[in-house]
Amino acid sequence: MANDSNQMLDAWAEQNDYKWGFVTDIESETLPPGLDEDVVRAISARKKEPQWLLEWRLKAYRHWLTMDEPDWAHFPDHDWRPIDYNGISYYSAPKSDDDRPKSLDEVDPKLLETYEKLGIPLEERAALAGVAVDAVFDSVSVATTYREKLAEVGVIFCPISEAVHDHPELVQQYLGRIVPPNDNFFAALNSAVFTDGSFVFIPKGVTCPMELSTYFRINSLNTGQFERTLIIAEEGASVSYLEGCTAPMRDENQLHAAVVELIALDDASIKYSTIQNWYPGDENGKGGIYNFVTKRGLCEGDRSHISWTQVETGSAITWKYPSCILKGHDSIGEFYSVALTNMKQQADTGTKMIHIGRNTRSNIVSKGISAGNGQNTYRGQVKIRPKATNARNYTQCDSMLMGDRCGAHTFPYIEADNDTAIVEHEASTSKIGEDQIFYCNQRGISSEDAVSMIVNGFCREVLAELPMEFAVEAKKLLEVSLEGSVG
Amino acid sequence: MLQITNLHASVEGTEILRGIDLTIPSGEVHSIMGPNGSGKSTLARVLAGEETYEVTEGSITLDGEDLLDMDPDERACEGLFMAFQYPVEIPGVSTKYFLRAAVNAVRAHRELSELDAYEFLQLVKEKAQALALDTSLLDRSVNEGFSGGEKKRAEIFQMAMLDPKMCVLDETDSGLDIDALKVVSDGVNALRDGNRSFLVITHYQRLLNYIVPDVVHVLVNGRIARTGGKELAQLLEAEGYAGIEAESGVANGA
Ligand SMILES: Nc1ncnc2c1ncn2[C@@H]1O[C@H](COP(=O)(O)OP(=O)(O)O)[C@@H](O)[C@H]1O
Ligand SMILES: [Mg+2]
């Protein structure tokens, strides 16, 4: 990188004193595109990080340089535009209030229409569309009330950049333990340049008194493309965390490479729900997010329980395998997934269940829906280690096709190294029937409503895992994503 | 009143219905009988608006409104109901949920207010009582794993819930034992109210002992070969279709 851009970086990193980090960063700007050690240093400096974290990032970065971008999951006939890692800006803070729309009138009506269809309340729509927050409502006070309530029971829920300062011992102890920086290409990249994400700590014996949702941290809606989330549930603790909002991002081929780490100690339980609706690109496959995410949970303690639920409807390409390492005896891992691909979207998703402890159980339910020219792949691995006596796995993998230009693929890998293991796998592929739609029509139900009804029925076991409000949103999202896919 | 005039319809270029004229005044029960392959189900599906069938000539009106101009869901909202010979399964969608969506779609079309969950359940109760049908099926997915009899009962129940003007029943008797047949016919008879019309399609005369028609038509090779009173059905039962086929000058499948 040229000298003057180095100076620019330094100046950028120094501007504005660190106050509340995240919240006051709203005024800040975007780092120029490109990636080298100076960029990593600049990000770390910008966040006033301790030395150990800078070293950690640099190590990840240096390792990343030695790695190759994976290319195993995409389909040859889909136009893959290589990612130019030097064409990406690695720090993109929210726009300053001057640049934001002042009211809903200034927002793209198409975007608003989508929000409306999703049933998002008016104030929230404005926030999602990036209307200056104080013009809508005071998000800081919302977040604060929320946080105070949690603090009463000892729950920590804050941006990870803040946790680095306020709870350094916890962050240092757990960061990268479950997804090490050298785990894979995108995890290494994330470790080097992550800008924010959530930190959750539930102390011993505490049941988190409310669903934790990124929604309550309005400003996190604009977090960069490299989120880092860490959730720790101590002995006997339990928490349900909801991630993602339904805001479509109108960006071109942007890379989104998040890392999520969960750890559950004895008798702890973590339920992690995601609704992913990043911009999918257009009918011709132009634009859209590359969603390459590493999510992994460690059931470290006996009788611990980690459950992943995801509804993936967005992104041009998704590669994502939320996994569970079932180390504690009698621990349970679950994965419930709906992935919908329309237009030229590709989703390659599934899970890994690694059974290490005795009497460990895992349950996998995957529902893939393909429409338009969409490609949908379930890729899963169930591994029973030699000492995992009496391990059980049940996998159910259903695909639904709409039309004849789309595809569904299933790759279940099973490796059982203990004779007492019972591993069951069921799979089905069906076509959404003209006869089903006609039957609904004959009862007065429009084709569009019929399709969403049939699809929701197909996904019911997964939707049932979502917290109530999320389930409603997910249903609407499936509806909107399928709009116009039947004649 | 349903009025079908010179109706021709084909599938993939093959003409199946070859000029049908049929008028069913309000409140009447008409039956269509005929040998297998004569086009009975085709007629029902053309009435309901299934796309596979191309209407090449003729017209269909319901109370003066042009049905051929409407999409299938619009026809349903206008009061046309068809009980399917083979009702399809919709896994994961409870019958109750499905029916509420249907009832509210039809009500919206008729500019009636949407029924909330409570009002809907009241309506379910009322209709179930009137038809002496039990409602346990309503909590299961639409037609999923239903026995033949359960499927037909569910169709009749849906018919009652949607309050149609014109009911088309396509071989509702097929695959039913005598007890199920009685339950289904009692349901239909309970819905006869002097205004609602019925087109009862059947291959066998047996059903017509329970649902007594005002008029019987015999469909042979895509045309109505003969029309008469309920005694025509008994005649067919005794003599079979061969006589009418010969008389109408077209061998089946010609
Ligand atoms: N979807 C279809 N595709 C091709 N042929 C069809 C289709 N539906 C009906 N037919 C043909 O039309 C004729 C009449 O069929 P149908 O209306 O089912 O008779 P019925 O109900 O009187 O037994 C038969 O020869 C049948 O094979
Ligand atoms: Mg038939």
- Helix boundaries (H) for chain B: 40-48, 72-77, 95-109, 117-131, 148-162, 178-191, 207-210, 230-239, 242-247
**B35 in contact with ligand 1, CB cutoff 6 A:** no
B165: in domain:
yes
How far apart are alpha carbons A300 and A333 in whole angstroms? Answer: 11
Contact at 8 Å (CB) between A291 and A321?
no
Encoded tokens for A454? 């049939």
**ipTM exceeding the 0.90 mark:** yes
- Residue A253 has a pLDDT of 63
The DSSP element (H or E) to which A449 belongs, if any, is helix A447-458
Instruction: For B158, name the nearest residue in chain A, comparing CA atoms only.
Output: A443
B252: in domain:
no
Encoded tokens for A31? 């780092």
Beta bridge partners of B18: B8
How far apart are alpha carbons A94 and A247 in whole angstroms? Answer: 15
Whole-model pTM: value is 0.82
CA angle A378–A380–A382, rounded 5-degree value: 155
How far apart are alpha carbons A318 and A348 in whole angstroms? Answer: 6
Burial of A78 (0-12, 13-18, 19+ CB in 10 A): middle
Q: Which residues in B lie closer than 8 A to residue A461 (C-beta atoms)?
A: 92
Instruction: For B48, name the nearest residue in chain A, comparing CA atoms only.
Output: A442
How far apart are alpha carbons B198 and B180 in whole angstroms? Answer: 20
For residue B202, the enclosing domain spans: 2-247
Number of domains in chain B: 1
Token pair 């059947």: residue: B202
How far apart are alpha carbons B237 and B205 in whole angstroms? Answer: 6
Cβ–Cβ gap B90/A457 under 8 Å: yes
- Residue A133 has a pLDDT of 36
B65: in domain:
yes
Q: Is B70 on the interface with A (CB under 8 A)?
A: no
DSSP secondary structure code for residue B51 in this structure:
T
Cβ–Cβ gap A433/B88 under 8 Å: yes
- Residue A73 has a pLDDT of 62
DSSP secondary structure code for residue A381 in this structure:
E
Token pair 């009582």: residue: B129
Encoded tokens for B35? 């040998």
What is the full DSSP assignment across B129-196? Answer: HHHT---GGGGSEETTT--HHHHHHHHHHHHHHH--SEEEEESTTTT--HHHHHHHHHHHHHH--SS-
Are β-strands A323-326 and A290-299 bridged in parallel, bridged antiparallel, or unpaired? parallel
Compute CA B4 distance to the chain's CA centroid, rounded to the nearest angstrom. 15
How far apart are alpha carbons A442 and B48 in whole angstroms? Answer: 7
- Residue A329 has a pLDDT of 98
Three-state secondary-structure class, residue B124 = helix
Over chain A (487 residues), the average pLDDT of each successive run of 10 is 44 34 36 85 91 97 93 61 76 55 65 61 57 38 63 90 93 96 95 89 95 53 68 97 62 77 98 86 79 95 98 89 98 97 91 98 96 92 97 96 90 95 92 90 95 92 86 82 68
- Residue A102 has a pLDDT of 63
Burial of B247 (0-12, 13-18, 19+ CB in 10 A): exposed
Q: Which of A31, A30, A33 is nearest to A87 (CA)?
A: A33
Q: Give me Rg for the CA atoms of chain B.
A: 18
Q: Which residues in B lie closer than 8 A to residue A435 (C-beta atoms)?
A: 88
Compute CA A22 distance to the chain's CA centroid, rounded to the nearest angstrom. 20
CATH number at residue B102: 3.40.50.300
DSSP secondary structure code for residue B87 in this structure:
P
Contact at 8 Å (CB) between A236 and A268?
yes
The DSSP element (H or E) to which A144 belongs, if any, is helix A139-152
Q: Which of B90, B93, B106 sits opposite A444 (nearest CB)?
A: B106
Q: How many CB atoms lie within 10 A of CB A429?
A: 14
Regions of chain B with pLDDT less than 70: 249-254
Token pair 């339920």: residue: A271
Contact at 8 Å (CB) between A289 and A248?
no
Cβ–Cβ gap A454/B90 under 8 Å: yes
Amino acid at A479: E
Q: Phi/psi class of residue B58: alpha, beta or left (left: φ > 0; alpha: ψ in -120 to 50)?
A: left
B177: in domain:
yes
Amino acid at B223: R
Token pair 């690109």: residue: A281
Encoded tokens for B44? 């029902």
**B36 in contact with ligand 1, CB cutoff 6 A:** yes
B254: in domain:
no
| Residue contacts between A and B (CB atoms, under 8 Å) | 74
CA angle B69–B75–B80, rounded 5-degree value: 135
How far apart are alpha carbons B65 and B82 in whole angstroms? Answer: 18
Encoded tokens for B114? 């949407």
Q: Phi and psi at residue A73, in whole multiples of 5°?
A: -100, -10
Alpha carbon distances (Å) from A393 to A216, A308, A311: 36, 15, 22
The DSSP element (H or E) to which B92 belongs, if any, is strand B90-94
How far apart are alpha carbons A158 and A463 in whole angstroms? Answer: 28
- Residue B244 has a pLDDT of 82
Are β-strands B14-24 and B2-11 bridged in parallel, bridged antiparallel, or unpaired? antiparallel
Contact at 8 Å (CB) between B159 and B172?
no
Residue A120's Cβ-side half-sphere holds a number of Cα atoms within 13 Å equal to 22
Q: Which residues in B lie closer than 8 A to residue A399 (C-beta atoms)?
A: none
Min Cα separation B154/chain A (Å): 13
Q: Which residues in A lie closer than 8 A to residue B102 (C-beta atoms)?
A: 440, 443-445
How far apart are alpha carbons A308 and A465 in whole angstroms? Answer: 9
Encoded tokens for A458? 């197909």
- Residue A24 has a pLDDT of 28
How far apart are alpha carbons B45 and B24 in whole angstroms? Answer: 17
What is the full DSSP assignment across A464-478? Answer: TTS-HHHHHHHHHHH
Q: Is B81 on the interface with A (CB under 8 A)?
A: yes
Q: Phi and psi at residue A420, in whole multiples of 5°?
A: -85, 0
How far apart are alpha carbons B194 and B210 in whole angstroms? Answer: 17
Q: Which of B162, B152, B23 is nearest to B79 (CA)?
A: B162
How far apart are alpha carbons B183 and B198 in whole angstroms? Answer: 17
How far apart are alpha carbons A270 and A325 in whole angstroms? Answer: 13
Beta bridge partners of A9: none
Cβ–Cβ gap B72/A456 under 8 Å: no
The DSSP element (H or E) to which A150 belongs, if any, is helix A139-152
Q: How many CB atoms lie within 10 A of CB B186?
A: 16
Helix, strand, coil tally for chain A in percent (to 5): 30, 30, 40
Q: Which ligand is nearest to the Cα of residue B86, counting in written order?
A: 2
